[in-house]
Chains A and B, each alone.
Chain A
């Protein structure tokens, strides 16, 4: 491989390291490196402590560059390690690689041909949490950005880094810069000098384990964040009816009991406490289902009759209901299936403006019973359809954000699955209404149907 030269032919994906002995050495490398980048309309970023950046700035000016103009138009940026490598408060290779990708994308969006980066990672000697993963990170950079729009020059002061660290990082850079000249890095071949078995098997196993560990950690962190978010939203949602209940009860206490305002306050108190109970019930249901504590009292049920009863119980003049309920026998827990139906109807009402239409139907289809709730409401964007049964996920509601935790649909899915069924959400998009389709196994024919078929 012919090494490129610093001031002419570096290419996308090139990852170089420069080990220097004096302060002047790194400027000999950095000045032509950035001059060339700026001349080639690349977005240049120098990541180093401010004192290093100041030295580079002076040297670039001395080389005739209009530093101010480049900085003004965003072509040249100086960043500190704290704002980049250590942004999360510790060093995390995954976060950093994601950040480079973000910057590459941003540079591309601004019309730059490459993102050209250099930096002196002296901070890895400061005992920063995660710094022990630096060599791993350098190797990842070479892997992840090979052929991508990143050119990266890593500068190491020989006086500050141990030989072990230097050797580790050298192995992950195809090219090394020595006194301003780019050379093929002899250490980069060290890994390939091993036997194929040594090179691939253990490294591959290790890599796989690392990948699995990383994926598990990312998943655990995401779950933890979701849980925190859930607790915050749940607390807020529970506090709202409780706050209203507190004020309503204080009003009841202070007003004469036959005062019409006290009567109104009592009604408000009742409704708000019911709402708080519903929230807690939904949460408890999810917990019971997740921990297998729900026992279904299975019996033979006509889902059509159950739908008619449910609609009658919550029918409000605000919406136009249509029911097309044909006899449809299933085996299930009547109370839980009623909960499914009611949650779906309540959901349709919440997302459909007053005057809108809601159609509820039950139809036998082969070996399945199909319960379908169609509404003429706010609809959903395509990307929401797959997530709408997750807790905390809410579709758009008339007039803004829907109230509540978005637990109702999550309970629906879990209850339907407990009945060996499945549920899906359909929508042609925002403003085009939504449909929720539940499919449950049809019950085997009962004695009457069996006789009728003879």
Chain B
């Protein structure tokens, strides 16, 4: 069962608009399986094709989860509505000297889109974690790959869901990875449990900046002090702003929030 509280951010994952490039960040791999299965199932219900590019282990887990949700997976595969591709195999097709090659990338991905269209599916939703596979060893290459995906989405107008196993409340992940990833997506879903994440940041903000009216004003100013490249929950926007305004205080809020979030999870 999903442990995600319903939030506006569920919409971005479950019913993405064509061209949207959504990123789900997670700490619990079980959460990823849950989210991707819901994403696929909503696509099937809407008569869309789904192309999943994932690790071997995740592909198997997604299929199992979809089956338990009542999806007839062999039938979906037979009619070309569900295509799952191996992330490593795809990467091998377009990585050159440790970086994604634009032409080879398009040559590797586009035929699968064509195939789905020929099977009668004009609307296709995509899930990809090649970026996560690359991220741990070649972060710059992963970000370049995100840009290529972005280019493809602008041309093809399909929605894409990406996933990263990063923790926005971790000092390094939060300061370095999250801003870079956020810049390359249209929608950011920063945590397993959006409500818990929001509460943890709220409590941390009070502890670091006080509980008075000025602290509330300050939070409002942080939320909207500059335009963001992507849509994200207010709590994540506050963290990004704090990192820009005072990285040490951003770290302080993250550290306190991590404690609250872990406490709430227990």
Q: Is B208 an interface residue (CB 8 A)?
A: yes
Q: What 0/1 pattern do residues 201 to 245 of B give for CB contact below 8 A with A?
A: 000000011111011011001101110000000000000001001
Question: Is the C-beta of B252 less than 8 angstroms from some C-beta in chain A?
Answer: yes
**Residues of B close to A247: CB separation below 8 A:** 209, 218, 222, 242, 245-246, 249
A residues sitting closer than 8 Å to B (CB atoms) are 240-241, 243-244, 246-248, 250-251, 254-255, 261, 264-265, 268, 271-272, 403
Asked if B246 and A250 make an inter-chain contact with CB atoms under 8 angstroms apart, the answer reads yes
A240-B249 Cα distance, complex, nearest whole Å: 11
Q: List 10 A-B contacts (CB under 8 A).
A: A240-B208, A243-B209, A244-B210, A244-B218, A250-B245, A251-B245, A261-B221, A261-B224, A268-B221, A271-B214
What chain B residues lie within 8 Å of A261 (beta carbons)?
221, 224-225
Option from A243, A271, A403 in Cβ contact (under 8 Å) with B249: A243
Interface size class of B (residues with CB under 8 A): 10 to 19
Contact mask B128-163 → A, CB, 8 Å, 1/0?
000000000000000000000000000000000000
Q: Are A244 and B215 in contact (CB under 8 A)?
A: yes
B256 smallest CB distance to A (angstroms):
11
The 8 closest A-B pairs by CB, nearest first: A250-B245, A240-B210, A268-B214, A244-B209, A246-B246, A247-B245, A243-B208, A261-B221
Q: Mask for B234-266, Cβ within 8 A of A = 1, else 0?
A: 000000001001100100100000000000000
Most chain A beta-carbon neighbours within 10 Å: one of B210, B211, B226: B210
Nearest-CB distance from A353 to chain B (Å)?
Answer: 15
Contact between B245 and A403, CB atoms less than 8 A apart: no
Residues of B within 8 A of A244 (CB): 209-210, 214-215, 218
Q: Which of A246, A254, A271 contacts B225 (CB 8 A)?
A: A254
Chain B residues within 8 Å of A, Cβ to Cβ: 208-212, 214-215, 217-218, 221-222, 224-226, 242, 245-246, 249, 252
Q: How far, in Å, is B247 (CB) from chain A's closest CB?
A: 10
Q: Which residues of A contact B246 (CB under 8 A)?
A: 246-247, 250
For A248, the chain B residues whose CB sits under 8 A away are 218, 221
B209: A residues at CB distance < 8 A: 240, 243-244, 247
Known A247-B222, A248-B218, A265-B221; judge A254-B245 contact (CB<8 A): yes
Contact (Cβ within 8 A) B242 A241: no
**B211, B224, B226, B249: which contacts A246 (Cβ < 8 A)?**
B249
Given contacts A246-B249, A250-B245, A251-B245, contact A403 B210 (CB under 8 A): yes
Residue of B nearest to A255 (CB): B225
Q: How far is the CB of A396 from chain B (nearest CB, A)?
A: 15
A246–B221 Cα gap in the complex (Å)? Answer: 13
B218 to A241, Cβ gap below 8 A? no
Contacts of A251 in B (CB 8 A): 221-222, 225, 245
> How close is A375's CB to chain B, nearest CB, in angstroms?
20
Least distance between A273 CB and chain B CB atoms (Å): 11
Q: What is the CA–CA distance of A231 and B178 in the complex, to the nearest angstrom? A: 36
CB proximity of B147 to chain A, nearest CB, Å:
27
Q: A247-B249, A251-B245 are in contact. Are A264 and B217 (CB under 8 A)?
A: yes
> What chain A residues lie within 8 Å of B242 (beta carbons)?
247
Q: How far is the CA of A272 from the CA of B213 in the complex (A)?
A: 11
A247 to B252, CA, bound (A): 13
Q: How far is the CA of A204 from the CA of B56 in the complex (A)?
A: 82
Contacts of A264 in B (CB 8 A): 217, 221
Q: Hey, which chain A residues are within 8 Å of B224, CB to CB?
A: 261
How far is A255 from B227 in the complex, measured between Cα atoms in Å?
A: 12
Known: A243-B208, A247-B246. A268 touches B218 (CB 8 A): yes
Complex Cα gap A258–B209 (Å): 25
